[in-house]
Structure formats: structure tokens, C-alpha cells
Amino acid sequence: MKVFVAGMGVFTALGDNCAGNLSSLLGKRHGILASSRDIDTLMGDFPIAKIAYTNNELAAKAGISPSWPRTALLGVIAAQEAVASSGLDFTKYRSGFISGTTVGGMDSTENFFYSYSKNKSAGHISRIINHECGKISHLIAENIQATNFVTTLNTACSSAANAIAFAARMIKSGRLDIAVAGGTDAITAFTLNGFNTLLLLDDELNRPFDARRKGLNLGEGAGYLVLVSEEIARQNNCQILAELSGYANASDSFHQTALSDEGNGPYLAMECAIKMAGLSASVVGYINLHGTATPNNDLSEGNAILRLFPVKIPAISSTKSFTGHTLGASGGVEAVYSVLALINQTTLPNLRFEIPMPGTELFPETEARKIDLQNVLSNSFGFGGNCCSLLFSKV
């Protein structure tokens, strides 16, 4: 059974919908414009890609309560766009919502903590009832009426990609007709401080796959796909955006926060996704890299690409140079970008690349370039070596 993309939505610092994000990508306008000083943290000045809307503004935009955590607010706006673009009536089918997140309602909990720690009579305990990650998914699912099956994945940076792969499995096994899948994450003090402790942040704008890369910039956002079965697509005469032709998860199992230099996990994830589609590596025209700009990640992913594509390297680029690393949402955001690249038959730029990594000599795309694209690979690799690759094919 084939699984198709019938709708999608995305919300990042580049724009609040698919059209706005695509315009920024093609126009080389990044969204890493804020500073970690804007968040109540214990750290210094690091660039971040924070969406320029307050929670009250987001709530008004989504038509919901401003009491929702920021992660849910970002997610529901992207999910609403995805559902609207599909044109499907979710109440007529077995529809589900499968979402990845690492933050959950942590921003609301932090706000409560700051108030309470200063004044024991300040703050309200209702601020923490949406703390857990699963609660975020249920809030969004109820809003978009995709409630036949709701679940949440947290596999760090591969969360949303794994959610998309899991949604496809649910459809193929006959358990769902339609699934909205992807992820959402907001920036919190806990996350910023954690990555700072791991020495993974860059105090300048990130440089994915560049020899001078020092680390990542954090970002926030949400991205979701509407996946449908072949039968549902035919019954509803859906406008099909792409086929999710392959997907795979592989564990590197090398280190808690690093990948093996050889890129064993990334290699297996990409190889198995391509094999699932019944294709050869040579037909992949573009790879949306995980490309965090950390020394370890880019070297590992680069070596895996060299192993899998020994004759001809596909076009490659990391859109995290625009959005920052949106953590659990990144696989959903970049899945949308991969489908947009496929639809528009274009590569997406990799900002600030100048010098290739020693030993790999890989040259990411620095401009949007029109090429014949039939298959696009989207990579998402998480802590603990949890690696997921999604393959999207033109229909």
C-alpha cells in the first residue's frame, strides 16, 4: 500500500505558513535573529531563531485559549494549515494525530516556577497541568478533530521524523485512514541551558558542513504532514503533493549525545529508507541534511553520505542554517521543506558555507537551484544515535 502526502503546514521563524517559509528559503532570509538573553536563562548571548509572536498573539491567530503552552500554540497553527490544505473532512474517517516533541509544556511550568520562587502566593498551579509532552498532542488533536488515535514520540531530534514514519505504518496496517504527523517545540530556558552545558551552542550564526563550524543555534517551530492511504486519496480526488515512499529508523548506539565518526546509524537509516522504496541510491536527487553544524554531527553525516553515494553525491543542504535546530520539531519542519523542494523542483540553500570539512570535501548547495528531482531524502538524527530518514518521491 502506498502512502501519500495530501496536505502540510509549517510555522517557524521564517514564516507562519508554507508559502512564507518557502519564500524565505528561496530568498536566503534566515530567522536566527533573536538572542538567548530574551529567555530567562543562566547563560550568555547566543543566537536563537525565536518566532516573533507572543503567546497571546499566537492564541488569537489559532482561535484558542492563551492558556495553552507555547509548544501547543505553535503546533496547532501548523496542524490547522495542514488540515485545511488537505481539504479532507477528518470526522468521516479513522483519523489520527501522531506528534513529536521534547519540550511539551515546559515553558508554562518555567513561568510558574519563576513566579512562585519569588513569591509563594504568586503563580497559579493551573500553569503546570499541560506540562507533559502527551498533553500537547491531545490539545492539538482535539482542535483539528483527529482523535481516533493520538500518541506522542520523544526520540530527541528525530522525534517528528519518527512520528511521520509511525503514521505511515498505522495507515499501511489498516489502523488509520488519515494521519496528521510531525512535531512541535518551543524554546525554553531548560533546553538552552542544557545545550550550553553540553558545549553544543555556537555564539555566532551556525555554519552547517563548514570546516569552521562550532555548534548549533536553537530554534522553535512546528511542521506537520497529512498522510493518506491510496484508497482515501482516490475516493476524495486528493491533490497529492508527494509519496512517502520509504522510511527507516536505525540506532547508532555509540554515545548518549554523539554519533559515531563513521556514521553507522545515519548510513543504515538512509540505506534502509531507500531500500524500502525499492530504489537505488543513485536516484536520490537531493538530501535535506540533519546538518546541525556541530563538529560531530556533520562529520558523521558526511561520512555516511560518502559511504552510501560512492560514485555521485546528490545535492545536499542544511536548512537549519535558516531555522536553527528546532529539536523535536525539526523532522516535521524539514519534511515539509523536502516536499516543497520536490514540488518546486529546486534545491534549498545552505547558508554561510565556504570551506568544506577536511576529509569529506562535501559542497552543500549555497543557492536555490532548479534541478530534475524525483526523490528527496530528509535526515533526522537524535541523541543516543536514534536516526530516522524519510524518502519522498514525485508523483
Number of CB atoms found within 10 A of residue 110's CB: 19
Catalytic residue among 30, 272, 325, 388: 325
Three cell numbers written together for 84: 485545511
Distance CA 167, CA 175 (A): 10
Catalytic residue among 30, 131, 138, 290: 290
Catalytic residue among 18, 133, 157, 272: 157
Distance of CA 393 to the CA centre of its chain: 18
Three cell numbers written together for 198: 553540553
325 is catalytic: yes
Burial 285-312 (b: 16+ CB within 10 A, else e): bbbbbbbbbbebbbbbbbbbbbbbbeee
Alpha helices by DSSP H, listed for the chain, are 18-26, 55-62, 70-86, 106-118, 133-144, 159-172, 189-197, 230-235, 264-276, 295-308, 320-323, 330-344
290 is catalytic: yes
Distance CA 169, CA 249 (A): 12
Residue with cell 497571546: 56
Residues noted as catalytic: 157, 290, 325
